Copies of this chain bind each other. A is one copy, B any other.
Amino acid sequence: MSDSSDLVRVRMDLAYDGTGFSGWATPPGRRTVQQTVEQAWGLILRTPPPVLTVGGRTDAGVHARGSVAHLDVPADGWVALPGLSSRQPHEAALRRLAGILPDDIVVRSVRVAPGGFDARFSALRRRYSYRLANHPERADPIRRHDTVTLKQPVDVARMNQAAGTLLGLHDFAAFCRRRQGASTTRTLLRFDFSQAPGGVVVGAIEADAFCHSMVRSLIGAVVPVGQGRRDLDWPQEILRAGTRDSGVTVMPARGLCLEEILYPPDAGVAARAEQTRARRD
C-alpha cells in the first residue's frame, strides 16, 4: 500500500521578498525560502518536511512574484488537511500555510498538479523583471529593496536596440557562471526595457531557461550601452566571444524578480517534462 500511488503531487505558486533569504536553496545553516516552506508543510502535514522542487531557483536577495514548486504529499495526510472543516484539502493547505509562514513569503495557490507535472522539467519558459532607478535624487526610498539606483541615467531606446541583438538561440557561456558539463545554450525570447513612473526603468527578460547569473549579467551588459559608455554592438560581441568579459557587471540581486514560470496546458505537462529530461541527459 505504501507505493507511489499513495502520493499526491501538489503544485504551489508563491511569492517572496528575497531580502531576508540566502536564496531559494543554499548549504544548510542559512535561512532559505525552500527550507522555510518545507518546514511549514511538515508542520501542517505532521510529517518530516517534504522536499520541494522549484521551477526557478533564485540567488540570495532575488525576489519572486511568480515562483512555482511541486511536492509529493502522502494521500492520507492530504485528505486529512481540512480536519473537521468542510474545506477542500487545497483550500485548507493555503489557509494553514498562511498562518505559519513569515510575512516575507506569500503562497498564492495550492492545487493537485496535473498528471506528469514537474515544476522544473515541465516549464516552458521563465520571465524575470529588473528594476533600475535612473536618477539618484528621484529614487524612491520605499522601493530601495527591489530597485537598483544608477549613478548615470540610461537611454531606454539604446538599451532596447542592444538587447534586441541578443535574442534567439545562442550559447550564452559569456554570461553564465560555468558549471562542469552543463550546457549554456539557451533561447532568449524577450529582452526589452520600458519607462515606469518616477524615473524607473523596468527590464523584462524571458528564456526557455537561464543558467546561473545569466539575467544579471545580461542586464549588466546592456546598462553601459544605455549610459552611452559602450557601443550598441558591444553586448553582441561579448556573446560571440563566448567567454566572460570583465567589463560586464553582474548586477545586484535586489533589482531582480522572478515574475512568471510558464507551463503548457495540463494535458501537455508530462510530455514537456519527458522532453526536457531527455535533452538534459
Contact with B along A160-174 (1 / 0, CB 8 A): 000000000000000
CB-based contact B145/A142 at 8 Å: yes
In the complex, what distance in Å separates the CA atom of A265 from the CA atom of B270? Answer: 66
A3 at the binding interface (Cβ < 8 Å): no
Of the listed stretches A34-42, A103-111, A182-190, A200-208, chain B binds: A103-111
Contact residues in B for A109 (Cβ distance below 8 Å): 137
Contact with B along A28-54 (1 / 0, CB 8 A): 000000000000000000000000000
Count of A residues near B, CB < 8 Å? Answer: 25
In the complex, what distance in Å separates the CA atom of A159 from the CA atom of B64? Answer: 31
Shortest beta-carbon distance, A47 to chain B, in Å?
A: 24
A138 at the binding interface (Cβ < 8 Å): yes
Contact with B along A90-103 (1 / 0, CB 8 A): 00001000100001
Shortest beta-carbon distance, A64 to chain B, in Å?
A: 9
Contact residues in B for A145 (Cβ distance below 8 Å): 142
CB-based contact B142/A146 at 8 Å: yes
CB-based contact A103/B144 at 8 Å: yes
* Partner of A106 from B63, B107, B108, B141 at Cβ < 8 Å: B141
* Partner of A137 from B104, B108, B142 at Cβ < 8 Å: B108
In the complex, what distance in Å separates the CA atom of A136 from the CA atom of B94? Answer: 11
Contact residues in B for A146 (Cβ distance below 8 Å): 142
Contact residues in B for A257 (Cβ distance below 8 Å): 142
Shortest beta-carbon distance, A172 to chain B, in Å?
A: 27
Q: Which residue of B lies closest to A65 (CB)?
A: B140
A17 at the binding interface (Cβ < 8 Å): yes
Contact residues in B for A16 (Cβ distance below 8 Å): 141
Contact residues in B for A141 (Cβ distance below 8 Å): 15-17, 103-106
Shortest beta-carbon distance, A254 to chain B, in Å?
A: 10
Contact residues in B for A250 (Cβ distance below 8 Å): none
In the complex, what distance in Å separates the CA atom of A146 from the CA atom of B110? Answer: 26
- Interface positions of A from 57 to 114, Cβ below 8 Å from B: 63, 65, 94, 98, 103-109
Interface centre among A65, A94, A140, A144 (most CB of B within 10 A): A140
Contact residues in B for A107 (Cβ distance below 8 Å): 137
A214 at the binding interface (Cβ < 8 Å): no
5 A-B pairs (CB sep. < 8 Å) = A65-B140, A106-B141, A107-B137, A108-B137, A142-B145
